[in-house]
Amino acid sequence: MKSLVFATNNAHKIREVRQILGSDWNIQSLAEAGISSDLPETGTTLHENAEEKARAVVHLIQLPCFAEDSGLEVDVLSGAPGVYTARYAGENASAVENNQKLLQELCDHQDRSARFRAVVALWWNDHLHFFEGVINGTIAHQLDGSDGFGYDPLFIPEGYDQPFARLPPSVKNSISHRARAIEAMAEFLKQRIPNE
């Protein structure tokens, strides 16, 4: 089976990527690859953060690996929280606190349009390769649903009338920003790895 290390210990992201890639791939988390250190995330763009995490892991294991950085961009907030999505309500903010802050920032706004963006940095044959995925949608007026993570109870993808947290994971994982970036990476790898 083909193996890749995914430079994260975020159990939600790992689960989603395993579902997106299916059984052809063995995806290892950082912990499963024997890496216990936290990865740096000091960039000012998703690309910089994805690159920084991928390089940190390659430095430690010298194996094919990829990192992903993602964020939510809200139009009336000029693209915020963007690269700071995980820390929107403060350095160690919970998902609920982040969601509440977003609702507060948008309380006077009718325009709720937003998008999730994911950038994947893949280390392959001594080079970094980038893949990007975007899903457009809107921010709901209240939290709804319990599936998923982060802003899933607020983000309603285009073409649906329920947030990610209410949609079956199989739906989210066929249309999400992460699905689109990871599928682009899988297509790239398919061209380069001979069929077994």
Active site residues: 69
Considering only residues 6, 66, 123, 151, which one is a binding residue for ligand IMP as defined by CB under 6 A? Answer: 151
Does 173 sit near ligand IMP (CB under 6 A)?
A: no
How far, CA to CA in Å, does 125 sit from each of 30, 68, 163, 171, 192?
20, 18, 39, 33, 10
Alpha carbon distance 196, 192 (integer Å): 12
Does 152 sit near ligand IMP (CB under 6 A)?
A: yes
Closest CB to ligand IMP among 139 and 186?
Answer: 139
Does 69 sit near ligand IMP (CB under 6 A)?
A: yes
Closest CB to ligand IMP among 32 and 62?
Answer: 32
**Least distance in angstroms from the C-beta of 123 to ligand IMP:** 17
What x/- string results for residues 99 through 128 when contact with ligand IMP is judged by CB under 6 A? -----------------x------------
Give strand ranges (E) for the chain.
2-6, 25-28, 65-74, 81-82, 113-124, 127-139, 155-157
Q: Which of 12, 191, 27 is nearest to 118 (CA)?
A: 12
Closest CB to ligand IMP among 2 and 43?
Answer: 43
Q: Is the peptide bond before 194 cis (omega within 30 degrees of 0)?
A: no
Burial of 170 (0-12, 13-18, 19+ CB in 10 A): exposed
Contact call for residues 165 and 145 (beta carbons, < 8 A): yes
**Least distance in angstroms from the C-beta of 132 to ligand IMP:** 13
- The site for ligand IMP (CB under 6 A) is made up of 10, 41, 69-72, 85-86, 98, 116, 148-152, 164, 176, 178
